[in-house]
Chains A and B, each alone.
Chain A
Amino acid sequence: MKLDEVKIGGMGASRKRVEDNRFIRGKGNYVDDIVLPGMLHMEILRSPVAHARIKSIDTSAAWDMPGVRLVLTGEMMAARNLAWMPTLSYDTAAVLATDKVRFQGQEVCAVIADDPYIAKDACGKIVVDYEILPPIVNPVQAAAADAIQIRDDKAGQVGNKIFDWEIGDKARTDKAFEDADLVSKIELHYPRTHPSPMETCGSIADYDRATGKLTFYVTSQAPHIVRAAVAMVAELPEQNIRVISPDIGGGFGNKVPIYSGYVIAILASILTEKPVKWIEDKTGNLVSTGFGRDVYLKGEMALRKDGKILGVRMNTISDHGAFFADAQPSKFKIGLMHSAFAAYDIPTAHMFATGYYTNKAPGGVAYRCSFRVTEAMFFQERMVQAAADDLGMDQAEFRRVNFVKDEQHPHRTAFGFLTDSGQYEKCLDIGLEAINYKNFEAERAEAAKRGRLLGIGISTMTEPLGAGNSREYDILGIKMFDSAELRIHMSGKAILRTGSRGQGTGHETTWAQIVAHELGIPADDILVEEGDTDTAPFGMGTYASRSTPVAGAAIAMVARKIRAKARKIAAHLLEVSEEDIEWELGRFYVRGNESRGVTIQDCAMAAYSNMPDGMEPGLENTAYYDPPNLTWPFACYIAKVEIDPETGVWDVLQFVAVDDCGVRINPMIVEGQIMGGLTEAYAMANMQYQTYDEEGNIIGGNYMDFLLPTAWETPGFELYEVVTPCPHHPIGAKGVGECATVGGPAAFVNAVVNALKHKGVRNIDMPMMPNRVYEALTTGKDIYGMPPVRSGN
């Protein structure tokens, strides 16, 4: 009577989610749901202008309002050495503005009052006198010789450039271009967008003077990083800081950084000696917290007539806003942009990246993305399509010619990554079959008769997910490993804690499945707990699809440690030597006598009641996992679109997704991640972006202008699966949460551009709004969404 792994909720089981039980009853526990006795409420006054010197701030009328407890200004923060804080990219960011405001929406003052309504009233009573300075809203303006310097606070800063950074072999790449039959070029802008989880950022700081302990409730994807940062910034002893990240209403990278509001709320709690709650409004979230993308590309590809890519040049210019606050490994200034072309066998490549300050919100977070991988794969797949078109070659065939072949793995990419597994052609073939690629030209001709334009677009990519390893990946010097702690109770039930933090990603469900797989303890018997730094082992948190690759591996490893100890106990219980013990799921038995055995539960009880002489009691352990490499999932996305040529409106007729994310722990959850990711890809392709007008006013600062698609517009998605296990991951899994957002956009853009190919159109920048598509169609010109734009009616 062997255990059925699926029945006990092990690997491969589409186990229904444990966390749903509270969410469907309205019993989730998000940070705004928490109420502490005597709690005060904080509201932030934000700058209405993009760039201005602060001449004076008068807070007296706010102080005079009944119910107001504290009004904080930059000057008051500065007196406590808290006016500036470090960012995740070795820069500084203003907590409350002292000298200048540098973007619209920047934090200027904070009011702490008995009630948020009163705090908001008091914000309206603060008078700030601004001397308006010229705003810089794009890198071209930032680079101009006579441009005003945004960061005049930084000693040694010259102009508005943040960095120049390069990678690859320039000389060899130049040679490849000399030898090329054809050079394909394309210029693109990946527009600024925002992760925009449904729940905004927010926190409650609760400082207890009596104990010196700060309890900080915060909606954070990386609570341990918050603890470290608070210890650093607020100079509180780390053992006295407890960070609790309760249920997270979506993160997508937005909830990795430390924001001004957190620092202010903590100081306010220390000063008032009361809990202080700060819940950001949606506008605050969209105008001031970590955005994503905003990168320009000049891409060039050296090609041989037969379709072989000889070399790639990428030149990127990125707009980082007022502070360089990218959340990324410190070694790589433009994230993992150089993961581009990892799926293609390319002899040589070179990339040059430049970053600028502008008078826009800071951030540059990895929005559902492994550190700029989204831009990398989008640029790659747009360059691939342009090259195929320039060669006059079929877009699928061009990919096939240049793919890294299965047997070439492990494969060193032109930019130096090591990809280790994949079946790229197989995925492509499944996708082409599913969308009936062979028949597409016939379909296109048929649609033309109805006056409609059809297009088909492919996006294929492998992306690096799951940083570290620790040799190459760190954030502010802290190495990117992760952890798990497993305690088996005497009844054989267990509690598992990790340093990651789920945010709708199903950790409470899937983590138990890994333990079930390793130990045979039914998943329902395992409680998963995350997000409390007093109880969870240290971890770098959940982003960049790193939970399964890193924390997931740590879980498997800690379970194996437990199993190793249990084996000794089993030998003791069965009165044989350890060498004579065999393992099957959930049970040890005596080799050659299968009926004589003990269950893992028996071993758990014995660990507390009947352990061998000299053995440490108990059955618990911790594992820290430092992955040997990133994981490399592969995806093939194909979109078929139809355009109404009279309006430029486009609809998705069919969308096929083939994902190879290695071994799937919970297929239901994996598919949920893919569908969600594709929806965000569709959103970016179609409607979701942020831009700024000439004055630096943000467009896309609320949900009236920052458009998330509804159920009505969002297309259906057809999902297919290929499994190439990750060779170095203990359970063969690869990251998956972000593949669809990373690879999806190019499929939509390639499809729309494909539909307009006959007009000579090679590019439409996202979002491909109807007016852009119509303009491309009627003029035959490429459409660049270069800011600045004019604001609305």
Chain B
Amino acid sequence: MYPSRFAYESPKTLKDAIGLLDAAGGDAKILAGGQSLVPMLKLRFAFPDQLVDINNIPDLDYITFDADGTLRIGALVRHEHLEKSAEIAKRQPTIAAAAPLVADPIVRTRGTFVGSVCHADPQGDWAATMIALGGYIVAQGPKGKRKIDMKDFVLGPYANALAFNEIAVEAVIPAPKGVARGGYLKLERRVGDFATASVAVALDMQGETVVGAGFALAGVGGKTIDANDAASALIGKKLTEETIAECAALVAAKAEPRTDHRGSSEYKRHIVATFVKRILTANSTQKAA
């Protein structure tokens, strides 16, 4: 309940923030929403020398759709902004479905989308969502910006691909060719529980035909699981009982669950398959746009 000592800076510009990280040489941590970092500080699971608070940097709190439909989420967008965004509800169903399931409503007012992706908790909802959506992270460091594909971003539990002097300034989700569909389901015993299993499904549909699909899992492995290969079962096809079943089996095969007090590995794999089926079935019965 009492964090260890650290120095604290709250720069007003990204440049200053990156400069501070660079100067700290890897001993600093970025503080955004703090809803994962501060609990770790309180339990002394994390004890950085310095915190660089980016909350006072302007212009990082945006949710925008480019003209082509590309979605951009700034580093200081809180979970609840996504939950309440009418645009997101209309245009990005995977994110819309996941947003209310992140932590609890009070945590959602403060925690950030990008911060959660960077935290790379194997239980994290947003890293899974980003992988399923084929998104990328824009990282900014002393030498400027670079893109990191989500498939390369999560390296392992609590490990991401950012250099010590880089800040993830934006998450980008490419525009669908057709209409974005999809969903997110999580088995939790109560609000704010660790997921027994979570499934993110992103679909890109033209009429009734799937032209793109992405899948990712949380809570069923040592890290966020990329199950995008399962898209092969759907691409160019319609969502039928057969294609859905084939796809669900492929996604479930990707899970690496361990037996623990939340359930056996078989049970968790079964939940993954069940949730994939449920999301796909719900989308198959929607009217084509």
Chain A in direct contact with chain B (Cβ < 8 angstroms): yes
Do B263 and A769 touch (CB < 8 A)?
yes
Do B44 and A124 touch (CB < 8 A)?
yes
Do B44 and A771 touch (CB < 8 A)?
no
Q: CB of B192 within 8 A of chain A?
A: yes
Q: What does the 1/0 interface line of A663-688 toward B look like (CB < 8 Å)?
A: 00000000000000000000000110
| A646 partner residues in chain B, CB cutoff 8 A | 274
Q: What does the 1/0 interface line of B251-283 toward A look like (CB < 8 Å)?
A: 000000111111110011011001000000000
Do A770 and B194 touch (CB < 8 A)?
no
CB-CB contacts below 8 Å: B191-239 with A: 191-194, 196, 219, 221-222
User: Closest approach, in angstroms, between the C-beta of B262 and any C-beta of chain A?
Assistant: 6
Q: CB of A66 within 8 A of chain B?
A: no
User: Closest approach, in angstroms, between the C-beta of B131 and any C-beta of chain A?
Assistant: 18
Q: CB of B189 within 8 A of chain A?
A: yes
Q: CB of A775 within 8 A of chain B?
A: yes
Q: Which residue of B lies closest to A771 (CB)?
A: B263
Do B190 and A712 touch (CB < 8 A)?
yes
| B263 partner residues in chain A, CB cutoff 8 A | 769-771, 774
| A774 partner residues in chain B, CB cutoff 8 A | 263, 267, 270
Do B4 and A124 touch (CB < 8 A)?
yes
Q: What does the 1/0 interface line of A762-793 toward B look like (CB < 8 Å)?
A: 00000001110011000000000000011111
Do A793 and B219 touch (CB < 8 A)?
yes
Within the assembled complex, what's the spacing in Å between the Cα atoms of A790 and B264? Answer: 10
Do B261 and A790 touch (CB < 8 A)?
yes
Within the assembled complex, what's the spacing in Å between the Cα atoms of A647 and B196? Answer: 11
Within the assembled complex, what's the spacing in Å between the Cα atoms of A769 and B197? Answer: 14
Contacts A771-B263, A790-B261, A792-B260 given: A121-B4 contact, CB under 8 Å? yes
Contacts A117-B2, A647-B274, A793-B222 given: A769-B260 contact, CB under 8 Å? no
Out of B194, B221, B259, B271, name the residue touching A704 (CB < 8 Å). B194
| A117 partner residues in chain B, CB cutoff 8 A | 2-3
Interface of B is mostly: loop
Q: CB of A595 within 8 A of chain B?
A: no
| B219 partner residues in chain A, CB cutoff 8 A | 793
User: Closest approach, in angstroms, between the C-beta of B268 and any C-beta of chain A?
Assistant: 8
Q: Which residue of B lies closest to A769 (CB)?
A: B189
How many residues of A sit at the interface, in one of the four size bands?
Answer: 20 to 34
Contacts A124-B4, A791-B260 given: A771-B267 contact, CB under 8 Å? yes
Q: CB of B176 within 8 A of chain A?
A: no
| B221 partner residues in chain A, CB cutoff 8 A | 793
Out of B44, B262, B267, name the residue touching A775 (CB < 8 Å). B267
| A769 partner residues in chain B, CB cutoff 8 A | 189, 262-263
Q: CB of B5 within 8 A of chain A?
A: yes
Within the assembled complex, what's the spacing in Å between the Cα atoms of A699 and B263? Answer: 14
User: Closest approach, in angstroms, between the C-beta of A671 and any C-beta of chain B?
Assistant: 24
| A790 partner residues in chain B, CB cutoff 8 A | 258-261
Contacts A120-B2, A771-B263 given: A687-B187 contact, CB under 8 Å? no
CB-CB contacts below 8 Å: A695-714 with B: 699, 704, 707-710, 712-713
User: Closest approach, in angstroms, between the C-beta of B66 and any C-beta of chain A?
Assistant: 36
Q: CB of B7 within 8 A of chain A?
A: no
Contacts A116-B2, A771-B196, A775-B267 given: A793-B260 contact, CB under 8 Å? yes
Within the assembled complex, what's the spacing in Å between the Cα atoms of A793 and B191? Answer: 19
Do B2 and A647 touch (CB < 8 A)?
no
Within the assembled complex, what's the spacing in Å between the Cα atoms of A709 and B191? Answer: 8
User: Closest approach, in angstroms, between the C-beta of B168 and any C-beta of chain A?
Assistant: 24
Q: By CB atoms of chain A within 10 A, which of B1, B221, B259, B270 has the most?
A: B1
Q: Which residue of B lies closest to A700 (CB)?
A: B261
Q: CB of B122 within 8 A of chain A?
A: yes
Do B261 and A792 touch (CB < 8 A)?
yes
Q: Which residue of B lies closest to A774 (CB)?
A: B267
Q: Which residue of A lies closest to B266 (CB)?
A: A775
User: Closest approach, in angstroms, between the C-beta of B179 and any C-beta of chain A?
Assistant: 28
Q: CB of A649 within 8 A of chain B?
A: yes
| B260 partner residues in chain A, CB cutoff 8 A | 789-793
| B270 partner residues in chain A, CB cutoff 8 A | 774
Within the assembled complex, what's the spacing in Å between the Cα atoms of A792 and B219? Answer: 10
User: Closest approach, in angstroms, between the C-beta of A471 and any C-beta of chain B?
Assistant: 45
Do B264 and A771 touch (CB < 8 A)?
yes
Q: CB of A691 within 8 A of chain B?
A: yes
CB-CB contacts below 8 Å: A173-205 with B: none
User: Closest approach, in angstroms, between the C-beta of A279 and any C-beta of chain B?
Assistant: 9
Q: CB of B242 within 8 A of chain A?
A: no
Q: Which residue of B lies closest to A789 (CB)?
A: B261
User: Closest approach, in angstroms, between the C-beta of A120 and any C-beta of chain B?
Assistant: 4
Q: CB of B104 within 8 A of chain A?
A: yes
| A472 partner residues in chain B, CB cutoff 8 A | none
Q: CB of A281 within 8 A of chain B?
A: yes
Do B267 and A793 touch (CB < 8 A)?
no
Do B187 and A647 touch (CB < 8 A)?
yes
Do A707 and B189 touch (CB < 8 A)?
yes
- 6 closest A-B pairs by beta carbon, nearest first, are A771-B263, A120-B2, A117-B2, A771-B267, A687-B189, A792-B260
Query: Known contacts A686-B189, A687-B190; can you find 7 more A-B pairs with CB under 8 A?
Result: A120-B44, A281-B1, A769-B262, A770-B263, A771-B262, A774-B267, A790-B259
**Can you name 25 A-B pairs with beta carbons within 8 Å?**
A116-B1, A116-B2, A117-B3, A120-B44, A121-B5, A282-B1, A648-B267, A687-B189, A704-B193, A704-B194, A709-B190, A710-B104, A710-B192, A769-B189, A769-B262, A770-B189, A771-B196, A771-B264, A771-B268, A774-B270, A789-B260, A791-B260, A791-B261, A792-B262, A793-B258
B residues touching A (Cβ–Cβ < 8 Å)? 1-5, 44, 104, 122-123, 187, 189-194, 196, 219, 221-222, 257-264, 267-268, 270-271, 274
